Amino acid sequence: MEKYYITTAIAYTSGKPHIGNTYEIVLADAIARFKRQKGYDVYFQTGTDEHGEKIELKAKEKGVTPKEFVDEVAQDIKRIWNIMNTSYDKFVRTTDPIHERQVQKIFKKMYDKGDIYLGKYEGLYCTPCESFFTESQLVDGKCPDCGREVKKASEEAYFFKLSKYQDRLVEYYNTHPDFIKPESRKNEMINNFIKPGLQDLCISRTSFTWGIPVDFDPKHVVYVWLDALTNYITNIGYDVDNPSPEFKKLWPADLHLVGKDIIRFHTIYWPCFLMSLDIPLPKQVFGHPWLLFGNDKMSKSKGNIMYADDLVNYFGVDAVRYYVLHEIPYANDGTITYDTLIDKINSDLANILGNLVNRTISMANKYFDGKVINTKLTESLDKDLLDSIDSLEGKIEDRMDRLEIGAAIDEIFEVLRKSNKYIDDTTPWVLSKDENSKDRLKTVIYNLLEAIRVCSISLEPFLPSTAEEIKRQLNTSDISPKYNQENIYNTITPMPLFVRIDKDAKLKGIENKG
């Protein structure tokens, strides 16, 4: 079996993750489930990024130790990942002792190799982003990443020779056209960072202590981004002296899934660190767009944060998964509001999907006691539906290979739409009135059941519980993603999959809770 190693960014433990951060784990989960379905030996890793000055400050504010602070937040993050029904194989934490020890060994190896040297850093520091900037990198005198105030800082620090790897990095970009996706992000990296020339990177800090100490100079702690990025290898058994068989099997990663704001760390720093360690580079980094609240960034100060656990309470897991997977395009930001979420649930999940399943199974039960086989009385009218069932698998594969998740879901809904139209065109209620049309009616219902079955299999990576529930109602064990001529259906009483939401009442209910 071919392996497939997929990672998410590891989330900061500075606070509870909002629905935007949660989007990424759901996206990774959909890809991981899809690859498993295709027979890959998938390894899916996620986790938390727990060191740094910001956490040290937050813990102090709360009157707890940094470790106590991150233990609580990491627990909460894991809880939310679990609520979202994500099938990760490992949840890693940068405070895990194995990781901490390996980071020290990695730092030492780079130092011994001459890629890290001691120098002095003078620059403008953004504490929330844990990043130094030069004057020219600032935007309106503020941090170019988050827009907050930066402060002057100077400290003795270790530096990593990024510049040494610049040519090899460009060479890698050129010879691996799929390394950075979407294409526009690659151009950003080349024009904004590589063309002006890579600066050596400050890679240790002395101004705070909540980090992994440099073992041969412990007043320094390792820069959080070196600490965080290496999670992708330390947790699968990388060791500078003796990498494990698991590491040899899994590395290089097939896909690092990260948000557009941190693509620079993953496509410039990370490859250079790996080159320094003499290990291969990941195959692909996908910088996904963001989920915004209306037109705004979600933030506590704006009071527009939505949390996944609340949304799941209001709407159910699969409705939330559907929304984020379908509504965030491949390259542009997506938006979420209660209003649009309810509209989508009603139009897509309740109307198109829920109604189809409910109507079809009810007809199977009403006309044939649920027992339906293919009487093969096919008419030309059927062709379009049957063709679309058979071509669905290929179309989805194509979309998924290009990481166009929303478009893959669209392909499934196209077949569902066609199925609804097929009911209108074949008018089963008319056929049922004529004894001579009973066999034709059976074929019609059979075709619809097959369409639903194949769609439910295709839906599994995106809406796992809904797919399972459809399978239960169809009462079939057939998991082939193609139209099957010879199934024997014995459907059970249908239960509504998604109930239509009364928007005004729901919005009032949400408001009252808030």
CB–CB of 249/221 below 8 Å?
Answer: no
Q: Which of 305, 340, 205, 288 is nearest to 514 (CA)?
A: 305
Distance CA 207, CA 226 (A): 17
Distance CA 7, CA 235 (A): 11
SS3 83: helix
Nearer to ligand MSP, 128 or 243 (CB): 128
Question: Which among 16-24, 240-248, 446-454, 476-484 is the span making contact with ligand MSP, rule CB under 6 A?
Answer: 16-24
Among 4, 21, 95, 372, binds ligand MSP (CB under 6 A): 21
Binding mask 173-212 toward ligand MSP (x if CB under 6 A, else -) reads ----------------------------------------
Among 6, 10, 403, 457, binds ligand MSP (CB under 6 A): 10
Among 9, 74, 222, 352, binds ligand MSP (CB under 6 A): 9
CB–CB of 91/235 below 8 Å?
Answer: no
Nearer to ligand MSP, 12 or 483 (CB): 12
Q: Supply the minimum distance, in Å, between the C-beta of residue 263 and ligand MSP.
A: 9
Among 4, 5, 12, 446, binds ligand MSP (CB under 6 A): 12
For residue 474, state whether it binds ligand MSP (rule: CB under 6 A): no
Question: Which among 18-26, 300-308, 380-388, 494-502 is the span making contact with ligand MSP, rule CB under 6 A?
Answer: 18-26
Alpha helices in 39-124 (DSSP H): 53-62, 66-83, 97-113
Among 23, 273, 367, 489, binds ligand MSP (CB under 6 A): 23
Q: Which amino acid is at 141?
A: G
The upper half-sphere exposure of residue 294, i.e. CA atoms within 13 Å in the direction of its Cβ, equals 8
For residue 323, state whether it binds ligand MSP (rule: CB under 6 A): no
41-49 and 204-205 strand pairing: unpaired
Question: Which among 10-18, 186-194, 299-307, 479-487 is the span making contact with ligand MSP, rule CB under 6 A?
Answer: 10-18
Among 103, 116, 298, 449, binds ligand MSP (CB under 6 A): 298
Alpha helices in 369-502 (DSSP H): 383-401, 405-426, 428-431, 438-459, 464-474
Show Cβ contacts of residue 436 under 8 Å, excluding neighbours closer than 6 positions. none
For residue 311, state whether it binds ligand MSP (rule: CB under 6 A): no
Q: Supply the minimum distance, in Å, between the C-beta of residue 7 and ligand MSP.
A: 8
SS3 87: coil
Distance CA 319, CA 496 (A): 14
Token pair for 458:
């295709």
Distance CA 346, CA 356 (A): 13
Binding to ligand MSP (CB under 6 A): which residues in 273-292?
A: 290-291
Q: Which residue has the tokens 């509001």?
A: 337
Nearer to ligand MSP, 262 or 396 (CB): 262
Question: Which among 3-11, 274-282, 430-438, 457-465 is the span making contact with ligand MSP, rule CB under 6 A?
Answer: 3-11
Nearer to ligand MSP, 225 or 422 (CB): 225
Q: Which amino acid is at 74?
A: A
Instruction: Return residues touching ligand MSP (CB under 6 A).
Output: 9-12, 20-21, 23-24, 49, 228-229, 258-259, 261-262, 290-291, 298
